[in-house]
Amino acid sequence: MKLWQKGEEIDKLFERFTIGDDPILDLEIAFYDVLASKTHARMLGKIGLLTGEEVEQLERGLDSLQAKIEKGQFTIEEGIEDCHSQIELELTRMLGEVGKKIHAGRSRNDQVLTALKLFTKDELKLIAKGIDQFFELLLEKSEANKDVLMPGYTHMQVAMPSSFGMWFGSYAESLTDDLILLKAAYEIADKNPLGSAAGYGASFPLDRDFTTKDLGFAHVNVNSAYAQMTRGKMEKVAGYAIAALASTLSKFAMDVCLYAGQNYGFFSFSPKYTTGSSIMPHKHNPDGFELVRAKCNKLQALPTELSFILTNLPGGYHRDLQVLKEHFIPSMKIVRDCLEVTYYMTKDLTVNDSIINDPKYSLLFTVEEVNKLVLAGTPFRDAYRQVAEKIGSGSYQPDYQLRHTHLGSIGNLGNDRIKAAFEEVYKFFK
Ligand code: ARG
């Protein structure tokens, strides 16, 4: 029996189709729906729609549902559409008449919005924590390897001297920008839609400032019709932040996979983070980084997937919005898993501290040669030609002595600045 059923029979195939994956996906947001239901009940008490005794009964009922969810024992029964319906059903089973009173002044449309925002806030906080952990590791590795040279490439061709310190630090700084997007996504999720009901408010004197404070939202989505419009918009913005982070992680994973191969030999893996081959006895494959690369490449489609679901939808609620959850909810855990496994795999990554001595990297130092002539008074273009001639005639000899001093160069990584910039954003999440 549905919350909305009025005596007519529903076709079974249609029922299964419309319920879709909600009985599984809603298990992720049921906890938040219980929190919001408690707040809603308290608010109804405050405005006189429930007695103090009724509010207490509902709170006790919701507490027991919360415990059930936390123990992993909460399920959505067959034919019960979603977590919102299941929670009301269980309250009514537990409390009778009182359970039937909780839905005054709300709709599943603002319930799902509220639960999703609370869920997203918690998830973004966890992601930020994972970013912080990985950032610290990258910066630590950058400092530890700041004097270890690494070949730098452009066009996949040997280019200029870089360092492992620069390489690790570059990904640390990338995470700072990803965190800025994450913070923006958090701020957009941090607005209370509860009380917008089906998307047009209600004729009860709902105290929306109370529910905002009680649920720990920083602000309220004021206009009820706009509150409804944030379904999808909030997810899309969080999706952009996740996609940015995923892009950093996938590029990082790609670098590692490439540079750990025998043709480069810049890194080696701890065997505990490699897999073997069923046929080739010598293999230690970087499957972990490869899966991070694939999953993170896939995550970059998230904002596009959400955008397509939302394409041309007018204002107001549409059942289309339910499908957003299929893409959005699992993505949170996927990106958290990728961050975590990347952290551990990177912790055990070993750098080859003598790679630069390989003769094929002598060309990395041609610009040094040009710059030495420039410092001695030769115009740059003339110096460039002189060195090119030496390379052409085979008389070029690399000088491994480097003179990089400017901010952000291998001789002056500026990691203190990178750290300060990160901390400035991360303090928001603390
Ligand atoms: N499961 C639904 C969703 O995710 C809940 C809202 C249902 N509202 C409705 N008017 N049918 O969108």
CA of 319 to the centre of ligand 1 (A): 6
CA angle 125–122–290, rounded 5-degree value: 65
- 155: in domain: no
C-alpha count within 13 angstroms, C-beta hemisphere, residue 148:
18
In this structure, are 222 and 253 located in the same domain? yes
Q: Name the stretches of the chain with pLDDT < 50.
A: none
In this structure, are 94 and 138 located in the same domain? no
- For 76-98, the pLDDT digits (tens) are 999 899 999 999 999 999 999 99
CA of 21 to the centre of ligand 1 (A): 12
Q: Structural domain of residue 120, as residue ranges?
A: 109-149+164-356+415-426
**Number of structural domains found in the chain:** 3
Supply the pLDDT for residue 329.
Answer: 98
In this structure, are 94 and 196 located in the same domain? no
In this structure, are 90 and 138 located in the same domain? no
In this structure, are 92 and 27 located in the same domain? yes
CA of 139 to the centre of ligand 1 (A): 45
- 371: in domain: yes
In this structure, are 315 and 246 located in the same domain? yes
- 24: in domain: yes
Three-state secondary-structure class, residue 319: coil
CA of 27 to the centre of ligand 1 (A): 15
Q: Ligand 1, residues 109, 234, 310, 320: which to mutate, most atoms within 8 A of Cβ?
A: 109
Ligand 1 near 368 CB (within 6 A): no
Supply the pLDDT for residue 108.
Answer: 98
Ligand 1 near 231 CB (within 6 A): no
In this structure, are 62 and 125 located in the same domain? no
Distances in Å between the Cα of 93 and the Cα atoms of 58, 202, 398 are: 12, 26, 82
Residue 350 neighbours by CB under 8 Å, 6+ apart? 267, 268, 269, 270
CA of 79 to the centre of ligand 1 (A): 14
- 227: in domain: yes
CA of 19 to the centre of ligand 1 (A): 9
205 exposed, middle or buried (CB, 10 Å; 0-12, 13-18, 19+)?
A: exposed
301: which 2 tokens?
Answer: 């489609």
- For 170-201, the pLDDT digits (tens) are 999 999 999 999 999 999 999 999 999 999 99
- Is the torsion defined by CA of 380, 385, 391, 394 positive or negative? negative
Ligand 1 near 361 CB (within 6 A): no
Supply the pLDDT for residue 126.
Answer: 98
What is the rounded distance in angstroms from the CA atom of residue 116 to the CA atom of residue 264? 45
CATH number reported for the structural domain that contains residue 145 in this entry = 1.20.200.10
- 231: in domain: yes
- 192: in domain: yes
Supply the pLDDT for residue 168.
Answer: 98
- 189: in domain: yes
What is the rounded distance in angstroms from the CA atom of residue 220 to the CA atom of residue 223? 9
In this structure, are 309 and 421 located in the same domain? yes
CATH number reported for the structural domain that contains residue 76 in this entry = 1.10.275.10
Q: Angle formed by the axes of helices 320-347 and 224-260, to 10°?
A: 30
In this structure, are 189 and 329 located in the same domain? yes
Ligand 1 near 317 CB (within 6 A): yes
In this structure, are 122 and 53 located in the same domain? no
Q: Using CA positions, which residue lies closest to atom 5 of ligand 1? A: 108
In this structure, are 370 and 299 located in the same domain? no
Q: What is the DSSP letter of 365?
A: G
Supply the pLDDT for residue 398.
Answer: 93
- 159: in domain: no
In this structure, are 335 and 374 located in the same domain? no
Supply the pLDDT for residue 286.
Answer: 94
